[in-house]
Amino acid sequence: MSSVNIAVVMGGYSGEFEVSMGSGSIVVEHLRRVTDWNIHPIYITKEGWFAGDDKKAVNREDFSYVDSSGSKVKFKAVFVAVHGTPAEDGKLLAYFDLLGIPHTTSSHFASALTFNKAECNLMLRSAGIRVAPSMFFIGSKLLIGGKSSSDSKEDSAYNNLTDEIDSKLIVDTLGLPLFVKPNCSGSSLGVSKVKTIEDLLPAFEAARKESPQVLMESGISGIELACGVHNLHGQAKALAVTEIVPKNEFFDYESKYSGMSEEITPARISAQMTEEIMRTTERVYQLLQLNGLARVDYILNQNGEAYLIEVNTVPGLSAESIIPKQVRYLGEDLGKVFAGLVENLLQV
């Protein structure tokens, strides 16, 4: 048996806890299948951090635990499968960085940036990436964004501050339908599609239950797409483009994790558009200085323009998730892809 101890962290403190547990379990299963490393599931919960199949308490001072034989277990590397906080917002990653333990996902800075949808969109827009027109709220303060076009002459730095929510102003600015989202959340938790002005305030309050910051975006009609990407030999490498056909109004939490969507890989779009989506995804990965597996979501409108919707630095890895389906489409072994991410850390 190898003496290399690898931790797979899962769980977290957000509404994505169960999804993360599913992702982490898949990673543990595949790593145990394809490697001889000692794979230790680590469960992060609101009640505490627990390690191994027998749920021993984790010492957070050095991220270790004492197993049933009385031996202290420390880790060479960590595979991160925590969706939402405390991983995708960067907090857990900063903790590992402080301890000098390498991990499979992006830096704490890059993760915190992408988890903040408004700030991430602002950076991507400034780099010429097409994103939807939006308005950004902090508490009761409304910060109004600029236009989506990458060649817009307007300053899009959310610089017009008002003191209260004005539904008419929002609709006049963004039009209907529009999307209301928690600014810092994932798995489409708290996201609403608003079709009437009367539905705007309830949607805003639903989003605020997930995050004190709220983002509103113009509703762009079209084909929903997702492109996985990872670091291969130091270069960003897109996996494939998947078309998402939700049975609900959009690709919400139920669609993602309850079988309420059809996911078609490869997407039913032209070869030219597929290539454009993949190259854009690789560019976004490099611009944001991401690492490990990531996923970028888009809407392709009727004019053939792809709008970036969201960047996921810890994408779902459960059996129903998009990344595993793209890996299978490419004819690759999911366990070997996971192991490759860890091997990159062990070679440093």
- 5-105 under CATH 3.90.550.10, yes or no: no
Fold of domain 223-313: D-amino Acid Aminotransferase; Chain A, domain 1 (3.30.470)
- With helix as H, strand as E and coil as C, how does 138-184 read? ECCEEEECCCCCCCCCCCCCCCEEECCCCHHHHHHHHCCCEEEEECC
The residue type of 128 is G
CATH assignment, 133-218: 3.30.1490.20
Among 285, 241, 304, 242, residue whose Cα is nearest residue 124: 285
pLDDT at 250 (0 to 100): 53
Q: Where are the domains of the chain?
A: 5-105, 133-218, 223-313
Q: Provide the residue-wise pLDDT of the chain in tens; the chain has 348 residues.
A: 478 999 999 999 988 899 999 999 999 999 999 999 999 999 999 999 999 988 999 999 999 999 999 999 999 999 999 999 999 999 999 999 999 999 999 999 999 999 999 999 999 999 999 999 999 988 666 665 544 444 443 333 334 445 557 899 899 999 999 999 999 875 567 899 999 999 999 999 999 888 889 999 999 999 999 999 999 888 999 999 999 998 766 544 544 545 668 999 999 999 999 999 999 999 999 999 999 999 999 999 999 999 999 999 999 998 889 999 999 999 999 999 999 999 999 986
Instruction: Give yes or no on whether 5-105 and 223-313 have one common fold.
Output: no
User: What's the burial of 45, exposed, middle or buried (CB within 10 Å: 0-12/13-18/19+)?
Assistant: middle
pLDDT at 158 (0 to 100): 39
- Is 178 within 8 Å of 197 (Cβ atoms)? no
